[in-house]
């Protein structure tokens, strides 16, 4: 039932939107309303997982949800709901025509479906298929408005994304090869639990090779350097609601895939190997993102690079033992909430100023004071200031690093974080203050659209000041899974 | 004590709430009341802690990672006192001062943040574990940052805020690393545990360096001082008072807490480095202050100077401690703490005074002031008291603490290594030079601002500030005098505050009305109350004597003598630039002023000059030699890194191929 | 009780003799320059004249201008109370030590410099600016010299330093002591506005320091300021004399010891007056911007004094 | 028997690799499509051979799907795209032909090095073909990276997929059917979307030269 609600409602919404032609506003409202179903299912699922259950469904345990899946399901359904409520198609005037609205409704729901499938699929092959499908569905949405830039971004995205994900499939095939050769042929061979179960007997060199391919592949989707290149383009050129989904949860889903594989490989060859690779890629992402942020001129790209930075951090966290995995997962949740809010707010700014250049949007505090306030709060959050959740998770992450005896690594990380911080705050101030260009109207419009942003800020502050017990229990479950 | 702590928190929060919810007038006034009463409670808290010697301790069940622990001990108390004193004064002052922002900037934000800043400051000195400390530290920085941004329509404000938050964040990162090393990863361990474990830590030197970096960024020690002269002038003046008086003192507090208390001191070079940085800050601070014509920037540079003096005391104390000269060490720390409180009072007072001048004239440029003593006599008197205090003139408070620092340094002869000991007289000489230059600077600041003829229309139209502002200044003025007259009381009390640091053997001496110091090194005595009384008696006796000898008592008012010219205009007066010119020449090697001279000749003959334009500027060379190259390096790296994203799909795919191959090779090599 | 009386007698003695000392220097100088010169008691006449004239005050000036003469006199008198002139140990040692004396000097300079700025005259500003420059630059030398003296005596209290020198007369001849004397002598010249730092008898714009500051003063105000500056000279010279050559200073309060103290002090002061007069005849006034060089030289001397004290200890 | 099997497998793998290399020396998109179609035929043939020797009916089904999808359906669509776009030739790739071939050789060598543990581990008669499959993957990646026409990149990607399919069939005699179907579906959809985008690039930029896609940087 949970899985039906979770997976079928987005499909239903997509089907409705596809069948009703031309687009009608009620479809948008219906989709928005339906977006609560997966969210509710996710909450229900999490509650049951917290009670110690592992939910499965379908022939051969086709779907399976443990603590890790539950967390991701929550994140995905939350951001999907956010995007459903704030995406094109609800407001009377949002700059999109009927065809574009329809295609948004169809593909955003499909996108949500594929992500939900990716994090609940039991079979790592199916997980791969779902992640590959996210590329296809999201690529359709990037050029919602066809411009040279959006076509360029989408081509780069789909090509890099497809090639990357194909490499992840190589990794999957190699692992299967290993399994078949050492544990015998089974129908359930690619099921994650059977992989994990027989990991100790698997051949470690082959598994290492497999992990390299998997890491490169899913790392491409996660935006890890040096495969991150599609990310700033795609995030800056797509509609803000899609950017929110991509930056908020698509990266998280890819991290999820990497973590799943890391658990298997660790069980076979010990964590030292995967940790080394993750640290290398994480640090590289962090460094490239931090330094690129310095000279950034476009605020959506700035947010995109900040996503790369945070993916890098999460990746580093995964390599820092149980404490690090806890911190990384907390970070992932915080980043999901923050970044999806930030892209939605950036969309508002873009709609008002008709520009994504930082230099062309000064004076936000005067033209849109409430948006500016939320935007500033979000920027402080992604820069890692209290009282927001990212501060606590970065803090926990650095602590895990020191506890793991990687003091020098954490020193470098701290320096890079400071660089990113300075860059972000400087850019923020250029946007917030100064004189707005003359023709820009002053005053907030559609204040209701900011309510979700307010909700996000509240969540962030709550996560920054306390760690609610369900969250910490869920995270501890993940740590149990990931670092037994 | 718990009640008082709760009371202070409630007052601040209520003040913040009132400021947020109230209208422009009532929000402003109620917010100020909240802040003032909260600050008064903080002051009381500090005094109670010092008087009773009792220790307050509370651990709140804070569901984030771990507990939130507060504790008040001897070392917190002086800082609570100065927070309370300056906080209350600036709150009262701010009630009147911020009225000028009505309708221009958000008063709600200002009032609420002001309360929050005081709240974080009050709690900061109570933090009893690393987590609490760091959270409050970052909260304090953030609130202060937002306060600096109050006048956000000025581009200079944004620049200042950027610098401030950047440097403060560098400091925070250093502190974070420092605490992780100190606590071996367990940030929720109480400071007591850290204190017990500190002696056996292996990375003590790294911890010290990180602490110095982190806390000097907050305190504004050279070379991390650059944000100070930018951020303090652009903040509203009562906030500047708080920034300069209290916020930067948190750097001093943190340094004392970590290095003295938790680490219990260390090698001699710790003290030597601290001392050297202190001397450099003191000297460069005052030198740049001399060249400044922006009244508030001048004061901000003086904060650099005084922080330097405080760190001289701490550094000397650390050095003595490393050689086992415990009573000298204690003297140094007491002197530093004393100067910390004193500086809070007189710098707060001066910023409030400068705020009144700004309020009255609308400019911070001294060259456009003059003659204000007649238009705003009370402000002038208060500023004069502050100026005399900061110039260390007897019998005010600046003198008392500088005298103690000199006495501490004289003990340097007891350091067994001559090479190290020779540092001390150099420090003495440079400290004395600093004192002299500070006096010169405040003659300039007071003389050009308040004396002679107004140099601009705005200065002519100046008016005395409202009562609340005068009251705010009055509180601090009285504190300056009071602290100056009672060193015989303050020093033993501070000594008791330090007695809590159990590794310091503080020899209690008998203190009477005078302050004779009987350390193994030197013997010196000073009694500022007697000195003050003597000066007052003499001031009374002189007119009496004149009357006795029958001197002519008639006074005629005339023109200023002008070598025969008829009218005297403001342009004929000495300017601030001219006043500082001799010192600029003397220290030209350090200032390295740029000169730009252009002469326009008459087209017909080059013997007739039509106009001469002379420009000379001083660029602090820290910015040129340290920050610009550093920023340059980062920008160069950033430029290179930017080209990774060259926009070229083939390249991107090549990255993937290369990344794949590299990781495969890496996997090969990994055992 | 008699001790306190002696303290006050010292002040009266200093106040009374200060104008005479200046007159003496002027007279010797005139003689050395083959002039007849005014008699040594001429300064007393000047004071009398000024006290009976009315004062003229600029309309631009504030209360600072009128208050400054009193503040300057009071601080100078306070110094006179603290400095050992005739007797050690000093009863007033507990009120202040050598640092207090130095900062009281700064207090006087502070007020005088403010007063110079108050009437808005260009001369006054110039004088103030130069005065504070010289005062600031003299500070490190003073402090370092004090350091070296305190090193020998184990105290910064003036009486204690003199007593230490008396107890161990040979310290006077140590290089540290002599170098410190030289340094403090230069500082004394700078602080009291003598040649080659300042010319007390000039009224030429480009060279004035002290005179430019008090240019606006007249009548009783001028009298107070002049007297205070003479007193400062007297106190400084006695201080130098007693700190470095303490022979003859009274250690008991018997009339014999006191009169012997007075005689020796007068001789020492007369000798110093001759030195100053000779020097002022021999040297020309330095350009203002070479004054720092002189003060740097004195600082180096003081630093050498300390170094030798450390090394020879 | 087994030796014939392994001979056939290696022969097939070599053929697929050679078809892949054809992309490097030919310049016309038409030839690329042909190469891809024939490569797919060979791939289907290998699957059929495996199915025959292993007596696995499931694999016959997979071979048939491969044949239909990759050797008939997709090439047909590619041919249709050539009409408006095919006039464009891969005239100036980023790396010239000689160097490209050299690099490909190195990549295949590298694939052999990487595959050592795989070959050592496997007991299947087909194992000798695995390095060639991995080599095809590397070479296709290189083709995508070094060629400028969007259509070439699409074909490169399709060949990459062929390489993976080859690897799977040689190493494991095919992955579980449910995954296999999913992969086919994804491939089909992915290809359709790519095709759509190639048209869009052509519309917006009036050429399918991806060199023009250099607007978004930094």
B447-485 pLDDT, tens digit each: 999 998 899 999 889 889 999 999 999 999 999 999 999
Kindly state the percentage of chain C with pLDDT values over 70: 98
Please list every residue in chain B whose beta carbon sits closer than 8 Å to the beta carbon of residue A160.
649, 652-653, 656
- Pick the more confident residue, B507 or C129: C129
**CA torsion through residues B237, B242, B247, B248, sign:** positive
Whether the per-residue pLDDT at A376 is higher than 80: the answer is yes
Per-residue pLDDT at A461? 92
CA D180, distance to chain mean position in Å, is 16
A287 located within any domain: yes
Using CA atoms, how far apart are residues A154 and A464, in angstroms rounded to an integer? 36
pLDDT at D90 over 80: no
**How far does B494 lie from chain C, in Å, by closest CA?**
22
Of A92, A60, A83, the residue nearest A10 (C-alpha): A83
pLDDT in tens, B303-362: 999 999 999 999 999 998 898 888 788 888 989 999 999 999 999 999 999 999 999 998
Q: Please state, for a pLDDT cut of 90, what percent of chain A lies above it.
A: 67
Residue B101: CA count within 13 A, CB half-sphere:
24
Sequence-distant (6+) residues with CB within 8 A of A93 are: none
**Cα-based torsion angle of the residue sequence A365, A371, A377, A379 in order, rounded to the nearest 10 degrees:** -90
Q: How many Å apart are CA C272 and CA C196, to the nearest integer?
A: 16
**Mean pLDDT of all residues in chain A?**
91
pLDDT number for residue A67: 92
A96: confidence class by pLDDT, cuts 50, 70, 90? confident
The pLDDT of residue C76 is 94
pLDDT at position C69: 95
Categorise residue D109: left if φ over 0, alpha if ψ from -120 to 50, beta otherwise. alpha
| Mean per-residue pLDDT, A330-351 | 93
Mean pLDDT value of segment B151-178: 92
Q: Taking residues A306-332, what's their average pLDDT? A: 94
| ipTM (interface predicted TM) | 0.89
Alpha carbon distance A429, A432 (integer Å) = 5
| Cα within 13 Å of Cα(B552), Cβ side | 19
CB contacts, 8 Å: A434 with chain B:
155, 158
Chains D and A touch (3+ CB pairs under 8 A): yes
Q: What percent of chain C has pLDDT over 90?
A: 39
pLDDT in tens, B266-306: 888 999 999 999 999 999 999 999 999 999 999 999 999 99
Residue range D82-110: mean pLDDT, rounded:
82
Whether D140 contacts D156, CB under 8 Å: yes
Is C182 domain-assigned? no
Predicted model pTM: 0.91
A270-296 average pLDDT score: 93
Query: Tell me: the pLDDT tens digits for D132-167?
Result: 999 999 999 999 998 888 888 999 999 999 999 999
**Pure H helices in C154-250:** 158-167, 175-191, 210-213, 219-244
Q: What is the mean pLDDT of chain D?
A: 88
Chains C and D make contact, 3+ CB pairs within 8 Å: no
Residue A195 to residue A64: CA distance in whole angstroms: 14
More confident residue, A93 or B121: B121
- As a whole number, mean pLDDT of residues A291-300 equals 92
Q: How much is the mean pLDDT over chain C?
A: 87
Please check whether residue A296 lies inside any domain of the structure.
Answer: yes
Number of structural domains chain C divides into: 1
Can you read off the two tokens belonging to residue B103?
A: 């309708």
Mean pLDDT (whole number) for A22-34:
89
pLDDT score recorded for residue B614: 83
State the pLDDT confidence band at B509, using cuts at 50, 70 and 90: very low
In this complex, which of B647, B653, B657 lies closest to D217 when CB atoms are compared? B647
| B645 contact D CB<8A | yes
d(CA B610, CA B601): 5
Residue B508, pLDDT > 50, answer no
Per-residue pLDDT band for C149 (boundaries 50, 70, 90) equals confident
Residues A243, A248, A254: CA angle, nearest 5 degrees: 105
Please state whether the peptide bond connecting residue C227 to the residue before it is cis, i.e. omega within 30 degrees of 0: no
B520 pLDDT tier (thresholds 50, 70, 90): low
Q: Which phi and psi (to 5°) does residue B452 adopt?
A: 65, -150
| pLDDT tens digits for range A175-198 | 998 888 887 777 778 889 999 988
Query: What does the pLDDT look like over C254-282, one tens digit per residue?
Result: 888 889 999 999 999 999 999 999 988 88
Q: Where are the alpha helices (DSSP H) in B411-501?
A: 418-421, 423-450, 457-460, 467-485, 487-499
Q: What is the mean pLDDT of chain B?
A: 88
- Return d(Cα D166, Cα D164) in angstroms, integer: 5
Average of per-residue pLDDT across B499-522? 54
Band (D186; pLDDT cuts 50, 70, 90): confident
Of B152, B166, B666, the CB nearest to A433: B152
Mean pLDDT comparison of B502-516, C21-35, C198-212, highest-scoring range: C21-35
Q: Say yes or no to pLDDT of B511 above 50.
A: no
In B225-332, which ranges are E strands?
none
Smallest CA–CA distance from A415 into chain B, residue: B173
> Which residues 641-660 of B are in CB contact (within 8 Å) with A?
641-642, 644-645, 649, 652-653, 655-656, 658-660
pLDDT value at position C248? 85
Residue C311 has pLDDT above 80, yes or no: no
Q: How far is D175 from chain A (nearest CA, A)?
A: 8
Dist. CA C65–CA C55, nearest whole Å: 12
Number of CB atoms found within 10 A of residue C203's CB: 11
Which of B83-97, B514-528, B590-604, B633-647 is predicted least confidently?
B514-528
Domain count across chain A: 1
Check: CB of residue A357 under 8 Å from CB of residue A297.
yes
Residue D214, C-beta contacts closer than 8 angstroms, at least 6 positions apart: B646, B647, B648
The tokens for C169 are 């007369």
Mean pLDDT computed over A328-341? 95
pLDDT range class, residue D194, cuts 50, 70, 90: very high
Q: Which stretch of DSSP H or E encloses residue B523?
A: strand B523-524
Mean pLDDT of D60-87: 87
Under DSSP, the state recorded for B368 is G
Statement: residue B592 has pLDDT above 60: yes
D194 to B323, D89, D180: CA distances (angstroms) = 76, 19, 21
Is residue B505 pLDDT above 60, yes or no? no
| pLDDT at site B512 | 45
- For D18-160, list the strands marked E by DSSP: none
Cβ–Cβ below 8 Å for B560 and C143? no
- Best of A122, A140, A154, A181 to substitute, by most chain D Cβ atoms within 10 angstroms, is A181
Residue B59: phi and psi, rounded to 5, are -120, 115
User: What confidence tier does B53 reach under pLDDT thresholds 50, 70, 90?
Assistant: low
**Average pLDDT of the residues in B604-630:** 83
Which residues, in sequence order, are CB contacts of B144 under 8 Å at separation 6+? B117, B164, B168, B243, B247
Cβ distance C70 to B547 under 8 Å? no
Q: How many CA atoms lie within 13 A of B262 on its CB side?
A: 28
pLDDT at residue A386, rounded to an integer: 82
Q: Do chains C and B touch (3 or more CB pairs under 8 A)?
A: yes
C55/B552 touch (CB, cutoff 8 Å), yes or no? yes
Nearest CA in chain A to B139: A386
If you average pLDDT over residues B153-170, what whole number do you get? 92
C-alpha–C-alpha distance, residues D140 and D161, integer Å: 9
Place of tokens 């007596």: D55
**DSSP string of B234-254, one letter each residue:** HS-HHHHHHIIIIITHHHHHH
- The pLDDT score that the predictor gives to residue B510 is 37
Integer Cα distance of A303 and A293 in angstroms: 9
pLDDT in tens, A236-268: 889 989 999 999 899 999 999 999 999 999 999
The answer to whether A342 touches A379, Cβ cutoff 8 Å, is yes
**A295, A410, A433 member nearest B177 (Cβ):** A410
């Amino acid at each position: 039932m949970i899985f039906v609600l979770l997976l079928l409602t987005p499909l239903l919404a997509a089907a409705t939107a596809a069948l009703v032609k031309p687009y009608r506003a009620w479809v948008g409202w219906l989709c928005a309303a339906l977006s609560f179903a997966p969210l509710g299912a996710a909450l229900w699922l999490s509650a049951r997982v917290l009670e110690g259950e592992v939910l499965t469904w379908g022939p051969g345990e086709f779907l399976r949800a443990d603590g890790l899946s539950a967390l991701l399901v929550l994140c995905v359904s939350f951001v999907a709901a956010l995007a459903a409520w704030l995406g094109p198609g609800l407001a009377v005037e949002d700059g999109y025509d009927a065809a574009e609205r329809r295609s948004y409704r169809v593909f955003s729901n499909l996108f949500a479906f594929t992500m939900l499938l990716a994090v609940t699929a039991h079979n790592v092959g199916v997980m791969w298929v779902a992640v590959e499908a996210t590329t296809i569905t999201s690529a359709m949405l990037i050029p919602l408005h066809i411009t040279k830039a959006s076509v360029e971004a989408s081509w780069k995205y789909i090509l890099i994304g497809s090639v990357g994900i194909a490499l992840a499939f190589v990794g999957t095939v190699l692992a299967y090869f290993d399994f078949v050769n050492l544990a015998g042929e089974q129908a359930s061979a690619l099921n994650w639990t059977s992989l994990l179960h027989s990991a100790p007997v698997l051949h470690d060199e082959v598994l290492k090779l497999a992990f390299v391919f998997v890491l490169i592949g899913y790392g491409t989707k996660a935006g890890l350097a040096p495969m991150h290149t599609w990310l700033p383009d795609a995030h800056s050129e797509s509609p803000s609601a899609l950017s929110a989904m991509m930056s908020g949860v698509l990266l998280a889903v890819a991290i999820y895939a990497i973590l799943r594989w890391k658990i298997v490989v660790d069980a076979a060859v010990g964590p030292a190997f995967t940790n080394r690779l993750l640290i290398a890629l994480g640090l590289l992402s962090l460094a490239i993102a931090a330094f690129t942020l310095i000279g950034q001129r476009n605020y959506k790209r700035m947010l995109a690079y900040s996503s790369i930075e945070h993916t890098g951090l999460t990746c580093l966290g995964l390599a820092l033992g149980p404490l690090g995995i806890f911190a990384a997962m907390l970070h992932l949740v915080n980043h999901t909430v923050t970044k999806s809010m930030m892209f939605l707010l950036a969309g508002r700014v873009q709609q008002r100023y008709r520009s994504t250049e930082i230099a062309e949007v000064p004076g936000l505090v005067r033209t849109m004071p409430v948006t500016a306030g939320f935007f500033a709060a979000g920027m402080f959050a992604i820069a890692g200031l209290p009282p927001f959740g990212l501060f606590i998770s970065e803090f926990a992450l650095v602590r895990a690093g020191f506890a793991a005896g990687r003091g020098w690594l954490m020193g470098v990380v701290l320096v890079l974080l400071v660089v990113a911080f300075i860059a972000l705050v400087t850019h923020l101030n250029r946007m917030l203050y100064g004189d707005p260009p003359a023709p820009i109207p002053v005053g907030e419009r559609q204040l209701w659209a900011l309510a979700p942003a307010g909700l996000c800020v509240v969540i962030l502050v709550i996560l920054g000041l306390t760690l609610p017990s369900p969250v910490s229990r869920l995270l501890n479950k993940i740590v149990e899974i990931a670092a037994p | 004590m718990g009640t008082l702590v709760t009371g202070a928190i409630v007052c601040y929060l209520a003040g913040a709430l009132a400021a947020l919810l109230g209208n422009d007038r009532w929000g402003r006034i109620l917010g100020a009341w909240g802040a003032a009463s909260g600050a008064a409670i903080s002051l009381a808290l500090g005094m109670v802690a010092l008087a009773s010697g009792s220790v307050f301790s509370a651990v709140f069940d804070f569901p984030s990672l771990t507990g939130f622990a507060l504790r008040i001990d001897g070392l917190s108390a002086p800082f609570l006192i100065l927070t309370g004193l300056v906080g209350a004064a600036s709150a009262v002052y701010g009630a009147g001062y911020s009225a000028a922002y009505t309708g221009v900037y958000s008063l709600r934000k200002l009032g609420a943040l002001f309360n929050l800043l005081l709240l974080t400051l009050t709690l900061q000195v109570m933090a009893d574990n690393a987590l609490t400390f760091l959270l409050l530290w970052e909260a304090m920085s953030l609130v202060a940052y937002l306060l600096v941004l109050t006048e956000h329509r000025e581009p200079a404000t944004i620049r200042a805020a950027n610098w401030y938050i950047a440097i403060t964040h560098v400091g925070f990162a250093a502190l974070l690393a420092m605490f992780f090393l100190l606590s071996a990863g367990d940030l929720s361990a109480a400071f007591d545990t850290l204190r017990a474990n500190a002696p056996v830590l292996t990375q003590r030197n790294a911890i010290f360096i990180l602490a110095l970096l982190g806390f000097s960024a907050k305190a504004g020690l050279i070379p991390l001082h650059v944000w100070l002269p930018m951020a303090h002038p652009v903040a509203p003046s009562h906030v500047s008072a708080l920034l300069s008086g209290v916020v930067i003192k948190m750097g001093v507090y943190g340094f004392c807490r970590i290095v003295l208390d938790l680490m219990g001191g260390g090698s001699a070079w710790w003290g030597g480095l601290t001392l050297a940085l202190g001397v450099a800050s003191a000297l460069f601070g005052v030198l740049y202050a001399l060249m400044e014509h922006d009244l508030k920037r001048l004061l901000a540079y003086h904060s650099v100077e005084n922080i330097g003096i405080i760190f001289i005391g701490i550094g000397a104390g650390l050095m003595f401690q490393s050689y086992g000269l415990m009573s000298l060490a204690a003297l140094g720390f007491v002197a530093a703490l004393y100067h910390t409180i004193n500086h809070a009072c007189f710098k707060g007072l001066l910023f409030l005074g400068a705020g009144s001048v700004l309020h009255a004239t609308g400019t911070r440029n001294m060259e456009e002031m003059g003659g204000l003593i007649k238009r705003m006599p009370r402000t002038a008197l208060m500023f004069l008291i502050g100026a005399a205090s900061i110039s260390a003139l007897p019998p005010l408070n600046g003198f008392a603490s500088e005298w103690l620092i000199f006495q501490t340094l004289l003990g340097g002869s007891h350091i067994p290594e001559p090479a190290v000991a020779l540092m001390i007289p150099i420090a003495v000489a440079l400290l004395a030079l600093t004192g002299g230059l500070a006096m010169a600077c405040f003659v300039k600041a007071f003389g050009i601002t308040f004396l002679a003829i107004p140099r601009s229309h705005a200065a002519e139209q100046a008016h005395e500030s409202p009562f609340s502002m005068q009251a705010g200044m009055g509180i601090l003025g009285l504190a300056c005098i009071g602290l100056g007259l009672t060193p015989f009381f303050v020093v033993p009390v501070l000594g008791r505050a330090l007695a809590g640091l159990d590794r310091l053997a503080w020899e209690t001496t008998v203190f009477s009305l005078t302050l004779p110091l009987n350390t193994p090194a030197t013997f010196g005595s000073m009694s500022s109350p007697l000195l003050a009384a003597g000066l007052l008696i003499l001031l009374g006796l002189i007119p009496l004597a004149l009357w006795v000898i029958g001197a002519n008592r008639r006074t005629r008012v005339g023109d200023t003598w002008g070598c025969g010219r008829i009218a005297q205009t403001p342009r004929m007066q000495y300017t601030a630039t001219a006043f500082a010119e001799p010192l600029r020449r003397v220290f030209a090697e350090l200032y390295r002023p740029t000169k730009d001279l252009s002469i326009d000749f008459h087209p017909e003959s080059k013997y007739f000059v039509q106009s001469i334009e002379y420009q000379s500027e001083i660029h602090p060379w820290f910015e040129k030699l340290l920050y610009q190259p550093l920023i340059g390096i980062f920008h160069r790296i950033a430029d290179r890194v930017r080209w990774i994203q060259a926009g070229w799909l083939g390249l991107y795919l090549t990255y993937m191929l290369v990344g794949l191959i590299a990781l495969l090779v890496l996997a090969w090599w990994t055992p | 009780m008699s001790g306190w009386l002696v303290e006050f007698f010292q002040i009266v003695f200093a106040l009374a003799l200060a104008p005479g000392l200046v007159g003496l220097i002027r007279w010797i100088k005139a003689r050395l320059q083959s002039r007849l010169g005014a008699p040594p008691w001429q300064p007393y006449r000047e004071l009398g004249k000024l006290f009976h004239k009315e004062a003229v005050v600029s309309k631009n000036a504030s209360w600072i201008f009128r208050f400054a003469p009193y503040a300057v006199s009071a601080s100078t008198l306070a110094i006179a109370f603290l400095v050992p002139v005739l007797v050690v140990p000093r009863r007033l040692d507990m009120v202040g030590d050598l640092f207090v004396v130095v900062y009281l000097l700064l207090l006087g300079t502070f007020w005088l410099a403010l007063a110079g700025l108050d009437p808005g005259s260009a001369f006054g500003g110039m004088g103030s600016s130069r005065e504070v420059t010289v005062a600031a630059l003299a500070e490190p030398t003073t402090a370092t010299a004090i350091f070296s003296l305190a090193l020998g005596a184990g105290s910064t209290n003036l009486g204690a330093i003199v007593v230490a020198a008396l107890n161990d007369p040979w310290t006077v001849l140590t290089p540290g002591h002599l170098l410190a004397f030289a340094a403090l002598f230069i500082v004394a010249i700078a602080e009291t506005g003598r040649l080659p730092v300042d010319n007390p008898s000039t009224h030429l714009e480009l060279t004035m320091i002290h005179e430019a500051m008090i240019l606006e003063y007249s009548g009783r105000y001028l009298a107070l300021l002049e007297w205070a500056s003479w007193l400062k000279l007297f106190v400084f010279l006695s201080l130098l004399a007693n700190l470095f050559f303490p022979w003859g200073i009274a250690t008991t309060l018997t009339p014999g010891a006191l009169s012997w103290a007075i005689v020796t002090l007068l001789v020492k002061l007369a000798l110093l007056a001759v030195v100053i007069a000779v020097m002022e005849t021999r040297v020309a006034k330095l350009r203002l911007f070479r004054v720092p060089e002189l003060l740097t030289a004195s600082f180096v001397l003081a630093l050498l004094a300390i170094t030798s004290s450390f090394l020879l200890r | 028997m087994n030796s014939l099997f392994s001979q056939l497998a290696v022969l097939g793998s070599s053929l697929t690799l050679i078809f892949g290399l054809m992309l490097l020396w030919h310049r016309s998109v038409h030839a690329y499509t042909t190469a891809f179609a024939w490569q797919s035929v060979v791939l289907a043939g290998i699957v059929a051979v495996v199915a025959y020797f292993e007596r696995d009916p499931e694999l016959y089904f997979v071979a048939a799907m491969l044949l239909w999808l990759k050797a008939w359906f997709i090439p047909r669509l590619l041919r249709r795209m050539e009409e408006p776009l095919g006039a464009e030739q891969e005239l100036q790739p980023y790396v010239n032909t000689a160097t490209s071939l050299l690099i490909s050789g190195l990549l295949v060598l590298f694939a052999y090095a990487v595959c050592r543990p795989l070959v050592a581990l496997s007991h299947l008669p087909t194992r000798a073909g695995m390095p060639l499959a991995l080599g095809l993957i590397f070479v296709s990646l290189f083709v995508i990276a070094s060629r400028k026409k969007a259509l070439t990149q699409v074909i490169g990607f399709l060949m990459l997929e062929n390489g993976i399919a080859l690897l799977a069939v040689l190493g494991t005699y095919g992955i579980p059917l449910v995954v296999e179907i999913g992969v086919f579906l994804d491939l089909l959809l992915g290809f359709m979307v790519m095709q759509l985008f190639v048209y869009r690039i052509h519309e917006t930029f009036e050429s399918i030269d991806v060199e023009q896609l250099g607007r978004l940087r930094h």
